[in-house]
Amino acid sequence: MANQLMSVAEIHDLAKSTLSKFGADDANAGAVADTITMAERDGCLSHGLFRLPGYVATLKSGKVDGNAKPTVKSLAPAVVQVDGHNCFAPHALQAGRVALIEAAKTCGIAVMPMIRVHHFAALWPDLEEICDNGLAAFSCVNYKPSVIPAGGKKALYGTNPIAFGWPRPGKSPMIFDMATSVMARGEVGIAAREGHTLKEGVGVDADGNPTTDPNEILKGALLAFGGYKGSSISMMVELLSAAMIGESFSFEAAERDIADGGPPQGGQFVFAINPSLVRGNEDWADHAEGFFDKIYEQDGTRLPGDRRYENRAKHDQQGVEVSPIVLEKIAAL
Ligand code: NDP
């Protein structure tokens, strides 16, 4: 069956109305629909409409409260804690973001620990607005164990993505956003769905043996990128998303989780830095642009995010080709 052409507004309507149908209130459904739509529009298919059945599963099971109202609390001038009360993470992020931005603008750096949220998305949508306010930003989130610590055999870390954004006044920010596993689990899921084999070194089967079969990796575990180096970065994500903010390590989240196909309850760590205050003047922007020019001077380079922004410009104009398999799954809900 052919892909279906949908406008960005139609994608948002489909996501929001589906979530509303399963009990999410306007704010929860709207925030998740924003994130799903951004992913679909930017060509990040593993976190677009593909995720909608998982979000719905958690509403149906009652694990996520689709009517939760996040509370925002200042723990210190530069610490803005958001308690999601079991909402989807995008709603909690939207609730705390303005306070985080204000705190970073005033203090130079501010941290936003998010607790009792369910994160099932890409991280870059969480950083764009922070960067658009002239701030650098970082976020990371853990999940359930699916990555082996270097040298081990048993999954302990989540796929634990990290994202870093740099503001570019007058332009879209540079944001890189990457799983610390060799491949995101969502991408392994897509390969399994489409019947592709994966390259060697992505993961192991349930017995710890290397395999290129995505179905076996889904039953087994992934490897961290870059061997022990990526493994340490993944460990850092666990510490920041759990011990640092009073939330769960991936293994603790899994112990509590009811495995309904959606995200477990956990934490998300976000911080923002104001380069104008840290540097003491406004020269940071031109200085960084000169550096980006040096990167672009070399053939074959691009900045992280450039692919997404190109997709965005095209899809805003022409609409998005959406997979019929994904639409069938949503219709079947
Ligand atoms: P990719 O490996 O596809 O991309 C990682 C980053 O590298 C992106 O910012 C990408 O930019 C950039 N990039 C890719 N190619 C180049 C290049 N040639 N030159 C410069 N930059 C480049 O991402 P992953 O598969 O690791 O992760 C996919 C998504 O999955 C992420 O958004 C992540 O947040 C999400 N995720 C979420 C989890 C969760 O629990 N919530 C768990 C794990 C992952 P560009 O986008 O422009 O291509």
Q: pLDDT per residue over 42-78, tens digit each?
A: 999 889 999 999 999 999 999 999 999 999 999 999 9
Q: For ligand 1, atom 1, which residue shows the shortest CA distance?
A: 178
**Tokens standing for 191?**
């390969």
Q: How far does the centroid of ligand 1 lie from the alpha carbon of residue 177, in Å? A: 5
pLDDT band with cut points at 50, 70 and 90 for residue 215: very high
Active site residues: 46-47, 187
CATH of the domain at 310: 3.30.1370.60
Ligand 1 atom with the shortest distance to the CA of 179:
26
Q: For 188-215, b where at least 16 C-beta lie within 10 A, e where not — what string?
A: bbbbbeeeeebeeebbbbeeeeebebbb
Q: How far does the centroid of ligand 1 lie from the alpha carbon of residue 176, in Å? A: 7
Q: Does 88 have pLDDT greater than 80?
A: yes
pLDDT band with cut points at 50, 70 and 90 for residue 25: very high
Ligand 1 atom with the shortest distance to the CA of 176:
9
Residue pLDDT, tens place only, 224-267: 999 999 999 999 999 999 999 999 999 999 999 999 999 999 99
Pocket test for ligand 1, best of 123, 178, 249 (most atoms within 8 A of CB): 178
Q: For ligand 1, atom 10, which residue shows the shortest CA distance?
A: 304
Ligand 1 atom with the shortest distance to the CA of 225:
26
Whether 206 is in a domain gets the answer: no
Looking at residue 190, what is its pLDDT? Answer: 85
Whether 195 is in a domain gets the answer: no
Q: How far does the centroid of ligand 1 lie from the alpha carbon of residue 122, in Å? A: 8
Share of the chain above pLDDT 70, in %: 100
List Cβ neighbours of 164 (8 Å cut-off, separation of 6 or more). 127, 136, 137, 138, 175, 176
Residues with CB under 6 A from ligand 1: 44, 46-47, 119-124, 141, 143, 159, 161, 176-179, 183-184, 186-187, 302, 304-308
Q: For ligand 1, atom 33, which residue shows the shortest CA distance?
A: 122
End-to-end Cα spacing for the chain: 19
Looking at residue 186, what is its pLDDT? Answer: 75
Q: For ligand 1, atom 32, which residue shows the shortest CA distance?
A: 122
List Cβ neighbours of 280 (8 Å cut-off, separation of 6 or more). none
Asked whether the whole model's pTM tops 0.75, one would answer: yes
Q: How far does the centroid of ligand 1 lie from the alpha carbon of residue 25, in Å? A: 30
CA dist list (Å): 102 to 112, 135, 143: 12, 10, 29
pLDDT band with cut points at 50, 70 and 90 for residue 305: very high
Q: How far does the centroid of ligand 1 lie from the alpha carbon of residue 28, in Å? A: 25
Looking at residue 32, what is its pLDDT? Answer: 98
Looking at residue 185, what is its pLDDT? Answer: 79
Q: How far does the centroid of ligand 1 lie from the alpha carbon of residue 183, in Å? A: 9
pLDDT band with cut points at 50, 70 and 90 for residue 26: very high
Q: How far does the centroid of ligand 1 lie from the alpha carbon of residue 44, in Å? A: 9
Whether 116 is in a domain gets the answer: yes
d(CA 293, CA 171): 14
CA 86 remoteness from chain centre? 17
Ligand 1 atom with the shortest distance to the CA of 142:
40
Q: For ligand 1, atom 11, which residue shows the shortest CA distance?
A: 304
Whether 286 is in a domain gets the answer: no
Looking at residue 100, what is its pLDDT? Answer: 98
Looking at residue 95, what is its pLDDT? Answer: 98
Residue pLDDT, tens place only, 167-194: 999 999 999 999 999 988 778 988 998 9
Whether 267 is in a domain gets the answer: yes
Ligand 1 atom with the shortest distance to the CA of 121:
41
Q: For 231-266, b where at least 16 C-beta lie within 10 A, e where not — what string?
A: bebbbebbebbbeebebbbbbbbbeebeebebbbbb
Average pLDDT of the chain to the nearest whole number: 96
Ligand 1 atom with the shortest distance to the CA of 163:
34
Pocket test for ligand 1, best of 127, 144, 177 (most atoms within 8 A of CB): 177
Residue pLDDT, tens place only, 263-294: 999 999 999 999 999 999 999 999 999 999 99
Number of domains in the chain: 1
Q: For ligand 1, atom 23, which residue shows the shortest CA distance?
A: 178
**Tokens standing for 248?**
């769960």
Whether 187 is in a domain gets the answer: no
List Cβ neighbours of 281 (8 Å cut-off, separation of 6 or more). none
Looking at residue 1, what is its pLDDT? Answer: 79
Task: Write out the residue range of the structural domain in which residue 146 sits.
Answer: 4-181+224-280+306-332
Whether 16 is in a domain gets the answer: yes
Whether 208 is in a domain gets the answer: no
